[in-house]
Amino acid sequence: MSNDQPPPGPAPDDDPFLKKPQEPPSPEGPQGPPSPGAGSPYGAPYGGDGGPPPGGPYDRDVHGRNAYGGGPFGGTDPLAGMPPLAPFGRRLLARIIDALIIFVPLAILSGFFGSWRGRANSSNWDDFANQVNTGTQWLWSVISVIAFVGYDTLMARKTGQTLGKRWMKLRVAMLNNGAVPDTGTSLLRAIVLWLPALLCCLIIWWAIIILSIVASRPYRQGLHDKAARTVVVQEPEQRPTP
């Protein structure tokens, strides 16, 4: 007969055969608390603890303060907690670089297929107008829109940086929490930026965009940024590991 069986009678409190209730699992998990900025390629957006703040500059409390402590009437700094905004000069240079990256290949292809050849040989305004109104020219306009809008959308939704912005150490971020824009936001931003410029009024529309950035306070948003609720900020510098 085995001696491992419990003795008859009520089990004592320290009986090893008595099943005790399990302790609830720790919310921190077996590996401890999550590291700040987990899940974001840029660390904690706007210097937070890794998660989005409770609101954003568009979400104000009853006192008019935004999620970063900013107020609309000159109270606390509305830029508190955010990375430095992109300087206008670097932002303009980044946009010129991006425009050339798309324009140069399109110009080469257009010249190769002869869509602009007739325009170069036009001797008067009527010939020029006829060239512009041809189906071929409209086709190249559509191709240009797809190229510029597609480039901006894909690059912005991937890392928040086009090639020009990457070289200028800038990036596009959501205004409310600093995250990389999603596909819908990136597409809306690119359409507002490029569609009017490429289809009807290049110089006028770019002048409007530039003026809207310069005049915007406090976030320096162009019309495309306001439509998408984004902001262009400087990329944080990488500190050397000691």
> In terms of pLDDT, which residue wins out, 62 or 32?
32
Choice among 60-64, 82-86, 139-143, 188-192 with the minimum mean pLDDT: 60-64
Question: Domain limits at 128?
Answer: 88-234
In the structure, how many helices (H) and strands (E) does the chain have?
A: 8, 2
Using the predicted structure, report yes or no on whether residue 34 has a pLDDT greater than 60.
no
Residues 139 and 78 in one domain: no
- Token reading at 58: 């568009």
Cβ(44)–Cβ(50) under 8 Å? yes
Residue with tokens 């990375």: 83
State if pTM tops 0.85.
Answer: no
pLDDT reported for residue 54: 43
Residues 76 and 182 in one domain: no
Between CA 240 and CA 242 the distance in angstroms is 6
Per the DSSP assignment, residues forming a β-bridge with 171 are: 233
How many domains would you assign to the chain? Answer: 2
Determine the average pLDDT of the residues in 111-132.
53
Q: Which residue, 40, 88, 107, is CA-closest to 225? A: 88
* DSSP H or E run through 96: helix 88-113
> In terms of pLDDT, which residue wins out, 71 or 219?
219
> In terms of pLDDT, which residue wins out, 35 or 101?
101
Residues 54 and 146 in one domain: no
Residues 131 and 226 in one domain: yes
pLDDT tens by residue, 47-91: 554 444 444 444 444 444 444 444 443 346 778 888 999 999 999
End-to-end CA distance of the chain: 67
